[in-house]
Amino acid sequence: MASMAAAERIVLGVSGGIAAYKSAELVRRLRERGHEVQVVMTEAATRFVTPLTFQALSGRPVRCSLWDDAAEAAMGHIELARWAQRVVVAPASADLIARMAQGRADDLLTTLLLATAAPVLLAPAMNRQMWAHPAVQANLEVLRSRGIEFVGPGRGGQACGEFGEGRMSEPAEILARLAAPPAAEGRLRGRRVLITAGPTFEDIDPVRFIGNRSSGRMGFAVAEAACAEGAEVTLVAGPVSLPTPAGVRRIDVRSACQMRDAVMQTLDGQDVFIAAAAVADYRPREVLDSKRKKSGQTWNLELVLNPDILAEVAARTPRPFVVGFAAETEEVERHARDKLARKRLDMIAANRVGQPGCGFEAGENALSVYWHGGGAEIPLADKSEVAARLVALIAERMGQAG
């Protein structure tokens, strides 16, 4: 089970963006978990949410300015930078990211960010065009190379009415990220992890395919969680519309055969293989070059078996620590343990499917995890929290396997 970080002293930086309202919820949740939270707002942030809101939720006066004599007398900004065991900036606006990348100290928050030795986690939030801008991406690269960590952004509807990448991660995702140790001390530091995620699409002709409802969210969350634990992560993704988690190397594929090839080409030197993809078991025997015309009352489509990527990886020597997923509706443990043995896996994570709010398309999940001679339950929670717990279990079991 992932250890929730012990109570910490957290500076929560809030910069100017509409997502600042979500940070109020984040403060509440951090306090519930016993953390002490000192909120520091930029001037722009105060235009979106009042300091009073954060003061009430955090139980501490909010700091907004370098030039507040009374606050500085109580705890100077350098003292505050030392007090922090973690700094989280949510939302981190394009402007804040740019000022950090330049090493500016033109307000209290940027000054603190320079003066602190604590690990820093940013939850970026901005319009999708801004997020995609090369200037923003270059600034992110600079910060990443300095050891700054990121959570999100996600993809979805934006306050500006557009749809795309740039939405701030939900408080639950930020909390799950904080529960993992900083990547530099992570339990998978120095390990290489290969993950498959999403569905596969098996083409019938240029316009039709056989697919499934996998959203890819579980596999992407596992990739992000493994990255947060310090692993070097490669994600082989089927067709999904999800942003690549920061720091993850992504290879996009469409069909099961392409996924198999990408996995086999990347497998050498991997320490862990996690098969979270919902790979189609069968594909059409042939892919038609042109659209098949409607004719007759029935259509018999001949399907052939796809390669079992997971079983193929597990059959290799030497091989990584191999983790499979199983979606079961009944007798979860018996079926999952049977698959564990049959595919020669080191661990299997069983999804209880067929329950509302859980599994394929849902944002939450619960897993029953089995290995030879043991098992663990991961209760229903946000997929990022479930992923963090699963990755912690993998790290623990690998440790025991030597």
The residues that touch ligand C5P, with contacts defined as CB under 6 A, are 196, 256, 275, 277, 279, 306-310, 324-326, 339
Instruction: Tell me whether strands 120-124 and 86-92 are parallel, antiparallel or unpaired.
Output: parallel
Nearer to ligand C5P, 128 or 283 (CB): 283
* Whole-number Cα distances in Å, 301 to 219, 281, 286, 297: 30, 15, 9, 13
Q: How far apart are CA 218 and CA 220, in angstroms?
A: 5
Instruction: Tell me whether strands 202-203 and 163-167 are parallel, antiparallel or unpaired.
Output: unpaired
Nearer to ligand C5P, 49 or 280 (CB): 280
Nearest to 219 by CA among 195, 247, 255, 193: 195
Nearer to ligand C5P, 148 or 350 (CB): 350
Nearer to ligand C5P, 151 or 310 (CB): 310
Taking the complex as a whole, the smallest distance from the CB of residue 246 to ligand C5P amounts, in Å, to 24
What are the beta bridge partners of residue 199?
278
Nearer to ligand C5P, 189 or 344 (CB): 344
Taking the complex as a whole, the smallest distance from the CB of residue 230 to ligand C5P amounts, in Å, to 24
Q: How far is CA 402 from the centre of its chain?
A: 27
Taking the complex as a whole, the smallest distance from the CB of residue 71 to ligand C5P amounts, in Å, to 53
Q: Give Cβ neighbours of residue 211 (< 8 Å, ≥ 6 apart).
A: 199, 200, 201, 202, 239, 280
Taking the complex as a whole, the smallest distance from the CB of residue 345 to ligand C5P amounts, in Å, to 8
Taking the complex as a whole, the smallest distance from the CB of residue 228 to ligand C5P amounts, in Å, to 22
* Whole-number Cα distances in Å, 240 to 126, 216, 261: 22, 6, 19
Taking the complex as a whole, the smallest distance from the CB of residue 56 to ligand C5P amounts, in Å, to 46
Q: Which of 64, 160, 227, 257 is catalytic?
A: 160
Q: How far apart are CA 323 and CA 273, in angstroms?
A: 6
In the residue annotation, 160 being an active-site residue is answered as: yes
Q: How far apart are CA 377 and CA 340, in angstroms?
A: 16
Taking the complex as a whole, the smallest distance from the CB of residue 274 to ligand C5P amounts, in Å, to 8
Angle between helices 217-228 and 383-400 (to 10 degrees): 50
Q: How far apart are CA 101 and CA 82, in angstroms?
A: 21
DSSP letters for 181-199: PPGGG-TTTT-EEEEEESB
Q: Give Cβ neighbours of residue 200 (< 8 Å, ≥ 6 apart).
A: 211, 212, 238, 239, 253, 254, 255, 256, 258, 259, 277, 278, 279, 280, 306
Nearer to ligand C5P, 126 or 263 (CB): 263
Question: Which helix (H) or strand (E) segment is 40 a member of?
Answer: strand 36-41
Nearer to ligand C5P, 289 or 361 (CB): 361
Give the residue numbers marked as catalytic: 160
